[in-house]
Amino acid sequence: MIRFQDVNKWFGDYRALVDINANVDRGEVVVVCGPSGSGKSTLIRTVNRLEEIRSGAILFEGRNVHAKMSGAELNKLRSRIGFVFQSFNLFPHLSALDNIILSPHRVNGLGRAAARDRAMALLDRVGLANRAHSFPAQLSGGQQQRVAIARALAMEPPAMLFDEPTSALDPEMVGEVLAVIRGLAQDGMTMMCVTHEMSFARDVADRVWFMDAGRILETGTPDAFFGAPQHPRAQRFLSDLRSR
Amino acid sequence: MLQGAISIISENWLLLLVGQYPNGPLGGIAATLMLSVLGIVLAFPLSVLIALARISRWRLLRAPATALVYLVRGVPLLMIIFWVYFLFPLLLGANVPGFATMVCTLVIYEGAFLSEVVRAGIQSLPAGQMDAARALGHSYPRAMRYVILPQALYNMLPAILSQFISTIKETTLGYVINVPELTFAASQINNRLLTKPFEVFLILALTYYVVCFGLTAAATWLERRIATRRAGPGAAPLAIMETAG
């Protein structure tokens, strides 16, 4: 469903992504992990072209996201890929409900009433139906991130990308957000998730990609990766995590 | 002297308020406020367009907008008044009244200055806001319209109000092209009385001060309200108490 083909990206002289070749199948949950600065976030941001690439191709549903295309085509493509940010990025001037209504209404042309019904159902799904009229500043971090997930889901995307969705949260709020993501995984959503939550990765991931210095060094099932990592860098990374 | 000032006001209040209206053009405070309001209201949409052009990725939009802003910021307002005063009638082939000249000048001048305020307002928002809007499939213009500008303009309200206060003071320069605004009215009175310049210009200064101070107070109130709202209910008073204690 998402296929990286010989993807290379540079920031000036710095090679941020190096010969990435990988695949996310439909319904699969891939957790991308690795030390900070390894290119995980950059990789996930190239999938909906928030970052451009130097060479290669990224196919989403068979279509190269980085091909030359009109703005309208790119917007259409982006609306089919849900993206959840580390810093939530809710629109602070809109209520939780209006954050969710805005895009189905304005991008997909869904009627306001229908968009509202869908938004309420989604808020209910993330357990925040009672906070529909709250503004982001009135919500906790965990609640904001759950609204952000509902906002992405409102476009009914066939795939979701999570860029460190719990890294900006206080520890006691991590669980409520992971529970929502876990629920999505159980419903068969195709997902890529950059995270440092290793127990979450172990539970939810179908496969783990380990990245360092812009390369995917190792891929495997969570059992294989956490049980017996092959690459020395992965072994060091995991032992560092455990000794913390 | 106070008595002198009071008698000047009681004899000339109508002139100070509306000029020679209805027997002549509208003047006095009414003209000053109308000039300022028209200037800022017409300059505002222009300033948004200039700001959007200034941050555009297309050089073709960016270059002329940047040139305009630098040009206007680099010359005194009085110069622009003269340019408009002498150039517009030539270009239009018709007589342009002083009031219209002054409005045009203010729109150009305030448009350039306000555009920098708007640009700062847009660029001070976190990049994640645009990212989030684009990731949801909004086009750039739509993201601007529904996500970026509503936030930026709201945050900029105090700065816009303070620009409005500057505009009120800048209308005094209309005096040099005989626009019958407040300063012009005061000067008329002074020319008639000849012996009481101090009283006349004290009245003039106080009038400007009262209007501008009132608006400054409103700007401060607005700024505080916005700060409170942004922090979420309950948060701001607590934070203020903490720093005060």
The per-residue pLDDT for B17 is: 87
- DSSP state at residue B26: B
Please work out, in degrees rounded to the nearest 5, the angle formed at the alpha carbon of residue B171 by the alpha carbons of B166 and B173.
115
Question: Which of A50, A71, A152 lies closest to B139 in CB terms?
Answer: A71
CA-atom Rg of chain B in angstroms: 22
Distance, first Cα to last Cα, chain B: 48
- Rounded CA-CA distance A105/A117 in Å is 12
Strand, helix or coil for residue A6:
strand
Interface probe with A: pick from B136, B225, B229, most Cβ of A within 10 Å: B136
The per-residue pLDDT for A221 is: 95
**Residue-by-residue pLDDT tens, chain A, 244 positions:** 999 999 999 999 999 999 999 999 999 999 999 998 899 999 999 999 999 999 999 999 999 999 999 999 999 999 999 999 999 999 999 999 999 999 999 999 999 999 999 999 999 999 999 999 999 999 999 999 999 999 999 999 999 999 999 999 999 999 999 999 999 999 999 999 999 888 899 989 999 999 999 999 999 999 999 999 999 999 999 998 888 7
**Are A7 and A20 spatial neighbours (Cβ–Cβ below 8 Å)?**
yes
Place of tokens 């200039």: B50
Place of tokens 């006691």: A172
Residues 216-235 of B with CB under 8 A from A: 229-233, 235
Name the residue among A13, A42, A24, A59 with its Cα closest to residue A190: A24
Strands A190-194 and A29-33: parallel
Instruction: Answer yes or no: is the ipTM higher than 0.95.
Output: no
- Rounded CA-CA distance A233/A231 in Å is 5
Which residues from B are below 8 Å from A102, CB to CB?
Answer: 136, 146-147
The per-residue pLDDT for A51 is: 95
- Rounded CA-CA distance A50/B105 in Å is 42
The residue-averaged pLDDT of B182-200 equals: 90
pTM, entire model: 0.87
Distances (CA, A) of A171 to A128, A144, A148: 19, 15, 18
Q: How far is A87 from chain B (nearest CA, A)?
A: 8
Strand, helix or coil for residue B42:
helix
Q: How many CA atoms lie within 13 Å of B190's alpha carbon, on the beta-carbon side?
A: 14
- Rounded CA-CA distance B147/A147 in Å is 16
Question: Which of B126, B137, B229 lies closest to A107 in CB terms?
Answer: B137
- Rounded CA-CA distance B177/B194 in Å is 22
Which residues from A are below 8 Å from B231, CB to CB?
Answer: 137
- Structural domains in chain B? 2-244 (1.10.3720.10)
Task: Please check whether residue A70 touches B, CB under 8 A.
Answer: no
Task: Please check whether residue B136 touches A, CB under 8 A.
Answer: yes
Query: Tens digit of pLDDT for each residue in B17-58?
Result: 888 888 888 888 999 999 999 999 999 999 999 999 999 999
Which residues from A are below 8 Å from B133, CB to CB?
Answer: 91
Q: How many CB pairs under 8 A join A and B?
A: 72
**CB within 8 Å of A160: residues ≥ 6 apart:** A81, A82, A83, A84, A149, A152, A153, A184, A189, A190, A191, A192
**Are B111 and B46 spatial neighbours (Cβ–Cβ below 8 Å)?**
yes
Average pLDDT, chain B: 89
